[in-house]
Amino acid sequence: MSLVACDTCGLVQRLPPLAPGVTAECVRCGGRVARGPGGSLARTAAFSLAALMFYLPANLYPILRLEWYGTHSESTAWDGAIELFRQGETMIAVIVFLASIVVPFLKLLALFYLVATVRLRSAAWRRARARLFRALELIGPWAMLDVFVMSVLVALVKLGELATVLPGRGLFSFTAVAVLTMMASVSFDPRLIWERGDERP
């Protein structure tokens, strides 16, 4: 038997050990206060894995299209960064590269790391891992930054209204990566990091 405080209304209440597949709700406001074991880790791992699957096509297909009357050129996120770099826009090239290629990948790596350490019941670096997860949650809402940065910056820097974001397979994959990563980080229960019951910080 442990105690939990409801995230929503703050009521402290007793929490009996939960069976798998069971959730506990606040007696006062009905908000969820705890989830039974299992599920969280599997969901996080599954969504992360699915996001990783789409990572490859997201960077293979063009997401940006520059139209110029009859002709067009299509560029992937990578091409866009390279192109910007060639044009001397080093800063923007770095931002685009980080936002669209590095950060999504690092996010997935971080999730896999969290899942693996919880799974192995590791007690090391728990404080750091909790902080890592908070960082993940912080950049969560910015998950679509990649496409956003690409579309706005490249459009501004290059040909203005002649550049459009391709609503094609590239964007679909990009969105899939972003959404699945978000679902993965939402599924992750940070309490699992502290589950071994070691009370020292």
Partner 1 sequence: MTEAPNDATTPDALPAARIRRRRRYPVYVVWLVPLIAAVVAGVLVYERITEYGPTVTIMFRDATGLKPRQSEVRYRGVAVGEVSALELSPDLAYVVVTARVRREAANIAREGSVFWIVRPEVGIETVRGLTTVITGPYIEVFPGSGRQKTEFVGVERPSPALGRRGLRVTLATAHLTSIRPRTAVYYRGVEVGMVSATALSGDATAAHVRVLIEPRYARLVRIGSRFWSTSGVDVNLSLFKGVEINIDSLRSLIAGGIVFATPDAKSPPANEDTIFVLHDKPEKEWLTWAPKIPIPAGD
Place of tokens 């040909």: 159
Question: Under the criterion CB under 8 A, does residue 20 sit at the interface with partner 1?
Answer: yes
Name residues whose C-beta falls within 8 Å of residue 144's C-beta, 6 or more positions apart in sequence. Answer: 175, 178
The rounded distance, in Å, linking the Cα atoms of 192 and 201 is 14
Q: Which two tokens stand for residue 10?
A: 């703050």
- Beta carbons of 77 and 101 less than 8 angstroms apart: yes
Stretch that binds partner 1, among 36-44, 122-130, 150-158, 188-196 (CB under 8 A): 36-44
200 interacts with partner 1 by CB under 8 A = no
Task: Please tell me whether residue 42 binds partner 1 under the rule CB under 8 A.
Answer: yes
Nearer to partner 1, 75 or 151 (CB): 75
- Judged by DSSP in three states, 201 sits in coil
- For the segment 61-120, give every residue that binds partner 1 (CB under 8 A): 61, 68-75, 79
Contact between 160 and partner 1 (CB under 8 A)? no
DSSP 59-119: HHS--EEEEETTEEEEE-HHHHHHHHHHTT-HHHHHHHHIIIIIHHHHHHHHHHHHHHHHH
How far, in Å, CA of 104 to CA of 69, rounded? Answer: 34
Give the range of 1-9, 99-107, 124-132, 153-161 binding partner 1 by CB under 8 A. 1-9
**Which one-letter amino acid corresponds to residue 14?**
R
What three-state secondary structure class fits 3?
Answer: strand
Judged by CB under 8 A, how many residues of this single chain contact partner 1? 51
Binding status of residue 167 toward partner 1 by CB under 8 A = no
CB of 176 to partner 1, least distance (A): 7
CB of 147 to partner 1, least distance (A): 17
27 belongs to the binding site for partner 1 (CB under 8 A) = yes
Among 53, 94, 103, 139, binds partner 1 (CB under 8 A): 53
Residues that bind partner 1 (CB under 8 A): 1-4, 11-16, 18, 20-28, 30, 33-34, 38-39, 42-43, 46-47, 49-51, 53-54, 56-57, 60-61, 68-75, 79, 169, 173, 176, 180
